[in-house]
Amino acid sequence: MSENVLLDVLQVVLLFFLNPLFIATLFASVALGYYRVKRERRDFKVRLLPGLTEFKRLLGESWLYALIVSVLMVGVGLVVDWGWLVLFSVMALIGLVSFYYKITSPIYFASIAFFSIYALERYAGNFTVFGWSPNQVDLLGELAMTIPLIAGMLLVVEGLLIKKYTIKYASPHLVHTNRGLRAAAFKTKRLWLLPIVFLVPGDMISAYLPYWPQFTLGERAFSFLPVPVIIGFSQVARSMYPDHLFPKMGDAIAWTGIVVIAVGMAAWWFPIAGWAALLLGVICRAFISIRFSLSERKGAFVAAPRPAGVVIAGILPDSPGEKMGLIPGECIRSVNGLQVSNEKELYDAIQINAAHCRLQVIGRDGEVRLMQQVIYKHDHHRLGLLVVR
């Protein structure tokens, strides 16, 4: 019997890794890095971060959040319907392959899956697949509370991930301004994979995997089911710096998740409140995305060319420029005592005394400061700066 249990566990693990959503997410993360590097090399002749950065951070930044959410869901007893879980994953897969990651928020997947069951129940009540039918689902029962609570928790996680992990990966690229000049905008396009353990009622899993662990509560049987959940984010910052814009967006999304959880808890007494919580979450999440996108499109570029000086668009990791504490948006006015106004003058001035580079820098706040750094022969790309040109 122990061999059968191990075999079933192995089957479930393989099903997780062979899940089309999991596999598609791996390929999508590699593609994100490839297109980012291609854009950076086109604009600056050098890439900012390695092409596999998005792939390597796919699970590394999110696994702890996935563990916390899984423990909370199982500990509180938030049960999901098998059909809803399948629809949730299908919606996520559609959003993933669209590569339009403004729509890959879990609140959209959860809400569309929930209301799709309602539509199936109303217009295709006889629909059946693998023994599941929409008529079996009570959308005014416990699902009216559990789905909003799960969606709210995932929204909070989305906000925290955006706030904490998007600034470092903001990729500069050059765009034309209305005056015909080239300014820098900062684009972040990220994917996170969360291995979430869901609590599924009934014996549907045991019908195919007889030894898969189950437990009973009263007269009901439950199974644990690991499912890949994706969170995507895409945003361009141009009138605000990424370290100002993205934390604001993250906070707004996290607070939206908290509101969804609060309204969803009211579904314990008023089931329709769960429906309202999902709709509220969708509206607020869409509003946040639209509001910040419109404000960034209308605003002036913060990293635009200046009459005197060279504006920094990005700094290569572990470069002399990073060691000096330079940040995007700052302007280098002089190097080794020479005024500079373009990239050629910048590096020509460095060569005057490459071993000891002295910079006069205008900060984002307009304050002028002096910086210096020893540049060794092995230092790559001289200062390691990507500049607006």
Q: Is 29 inside any structural domain?
A: yes
pLDDT digits (tens, 9 = 90+) for 211-242: 555 666 556 677 788 899 999 999 999 999 99
Question: What gap in Å lies between CA 154 and CA 159, rounded to an integer?
Answer: 9
Considering the domain architecture, whether residues 378 and 285 belong to the same structural domain is answered as: no
Is 305 part of a structural domain of the chain? no
My answer on whether 293 and 319 are in the same domain is no
161 and 280, same domain (yes or no): yes
pLDDT digits (tens, 9 = 90+) for 145-160: 999 999 999 999 999 9
User: Domain span at residue 48?
Assistant: 2-298
Q: Are residues 178 and 90 in the same domain?
A: yes
* Residue 349 located in a structural domain: yes
- Domain count of the fold of the chain: 2
Q: Do 319 and 288 share a structural domain? A: no
Per-residue pLDDT of 271-327, as tens digits, reads 999 999 999 999 999 999 999 999 998 888 988 888 888 999 999 988 888 888 889
303 domain-assigned? no
Answer whether residue 49 shows pLDDT above 70. yes
Residues 196 and 232 in one domain: yes
Q: Which residues contact 336 (CB under 8 A, 6 or more apart)?
A: 349, 350, 352, 353, 357, 358
**Residue 358 covered by a domain:** yes
Residue 203 has pLDDT above 80, yes or no: no
350 and 268 share one domain: no
- Identify the domain boundary among 248, 278, 298: 298
Place of tokens 């993205």: 246
Which of 298, 333, 365 terminates a domain? The answer is 298
Q: What is the CATH classification number for the domain harbouring 315?
A: 2.30.42.10
Regarding whether 266 and 340 lie in a shared domain, the answer is: no
Domain boundary among 266, 298, 330: 298
pTM (predicted TM-score): 0.91
- Do 250 and 242 meet the contact criterion of CB atoms below 8 Å apart? no
Residues 289 and 319 placed together within one structural domain of the fold: no
The tens digit of pLDDT for each residue in 130-139 reads 777 888 888 8
Extended strands (E) in the chain: 171-176, 182-201, 214-217, 220-237, 310-315, 331-335, 338-339, 357-362, 368-373, 385-387
Q: Which of the four pLDDT bands, split at 50, 70 and 90, describes residue 349?
A: confident
Do 201 and 123 belong together in one domain?
yes
Helices (H) and strands (E) in the chain, counts: 12, 10
**283 in any annotated domain:** yes
What single letter denotes the amino acid at residue 212?
W
- 78 found inside a domain: yes
- Whether residue 304 is contained in a domain is answered as no
Spatial contact of 52 and 183, defined as CB atoms under 8 Å apart: no
Q: Is residue 149 located within the same domain as residue 75?
A: yes
- Same domain membership, residue 132 and residue 242: yes
